[in-house]
Amino acid sequence: MTKQHEALFSHHEHALEKEYESCPKCSLSLQIRHSKHGPFLGCTGYPACDYSRPLVEHENMEHQIIAGSVCPECSHELAIKKGRYGIFIGCTNYPECKHIEHTEDEEEVIDCPECKKGHITQRVSRYGKTFYACDSYPKCKFAVNYHPVVGECEKCQFGLLVERKMSGEKRLVCAKKSCGHKQS
Q: What is the pLDDT of residues 53-102, one digit of tens each?
A: 887 766 554 568 888 889 999 989 988 887 776 778 889 888 899 888 87
Per-residue DSSP letter, 117: S
Domain ranges of the chain: 20-56, 61-101, 110-174
Share of the chain above pLDDT 90, in %: 11
Q: Which of 14-18, 90-94, 158-162 has the lowest mean pLDDT?
A: 14-18
How far is 119 from 122, CA to CA, in rounded Å?
A: 10
Angle at the Cα of 116 from the Cα atoms of 114 and 120, rounded to 5 degrees: 75
Distance of CA 121 to the CA centre of its chain: 15
Question: Which pTM was predicted?
Answer: 0.44
CA distances from 26 to 29, 41, 43, 55, 95 (A): 9, 14, 8, 19, 33
In degrees, to the nearest 5, what angle opens at C-alpha 159 toward C-alphas 184 and 169?
Answer: 35
Q: What is the mean pLDDT of residues 142-169?
A: 88
**Average pLDDT score over the chain:** 81
